[in-house]
Structure 1
């Protein structure tokens, strides 16, 4: 994880999703870091290719299009349920009053960070977070194929 992030990973309580090759894709992070800071982004996307794909979507201004999906009552209700599920998952690792009711990515009413929403979608599985699922579907990265191999490495040698 630290190699993926380019820094020491902080507050990790588990691997929430993995690449098909086994490398971490999403980590679950403590809602309160060791230094005492509250950290609402429980699901943190670590996979470099997935992170780059979400950055590309944000740079291509896909977020307003995804936010428009919330005009559909069914999608908005599913997004609210995703928010509630996120909060329940995080609550298992402690109560942090400063972030009570705050999930990540703009849930339950906005689309603010595709990295966080994709991380939640990958950790929770398809059908839980409709905006995270839509971002993953629109991206150039897929959880179905490994993108951990560096261009110069032999097939199967993970660089992550």
Structure 2
């Protein structure tokens, strides 16, 4: 297990995440990564939402600037490049498989939900399906655990070391989609 359990989110965390997403936050059990200013960047979401829905995406990218930067990567075809790299690089495949197992261990450590057992996020372990989820996992787990998430963060125009929170004020909340 790489990170859980997380300290419970504060009421202010939930308010900020809801603002970031442009909708009420659901199932947030912790903040898995924060901006350098302390604002939430990645939320940890319960494996089963309050309404009983299984939710496989434990690590969810919430920071609007990070989400926008990763969306740009997806829109410019970076996922297909990463798929090719994954197919051609055995060490990358092995690291990605380890990331998948770590993700499953983190989520199962919180709650084992039968309907999503063995399913992680972002296409792991064999595909690259959602860079938002992979970048969120890389931010939550730290460098080196999710190699595709690390590649996405390295290629993005956003940096976890530079605060861009002021770019997203109350008049224009942006949504995350990891």
**TM-score (normalizing by structure 1):** 0.93
The 5 A counterparts of 1:35-74 are: 35-71=51-87, 72-74=89-91
Distance of 1:150 and 1:62 partners within structure 2: 25
Alpha-carbon displacement from aligned partner over 1:93-141 (angstroms, at most 9, x marks no partner): 1111100000000000000000000000000000000000000000000
Moved runs in structure 1, 4+ residues, more than 2 A?
none
**Residue in 1 that maps onto 2:21:** 5
**Contact (CA 8 Å) 2:97, 2:125: kept in 1 or not?**
yes
Distance of 1:125 and 1:14 partners within structure 2: 16
Distance of 2:141 and 2:163 partners within structure 1: 19
Structure 2 residues without counterparts, runs of 5 or longer: 1-16
RMSD: 1.5
| 1:17 to 1:151, Cα distance in 2 relative to 1, 3 A | closer
- The aligned length equals 154
The 5 A counterparts of 1:11-50 are: 11-50=27-66
Distance of 1:57 and 1:103 partners within structure 2: 21
Once the 2 structures are TM-superposed, how far is the Cα of residue 86 of structure 1 from its aligned partner? 0.4
**TM-score (normalizing by structure 2):** 0.84
**Contact (CA 8 Å) 2:64, 2:168: kept in 1 or not?**
no
Q: Per chain length, whose mean CA-contact separation is higher, i.e. which structure has more relative contact order (CA < 8 Å, sep 6+)? A: 2
| 1:48 to 1:87, Cα distance in 2 relative to 1, 3 A | same
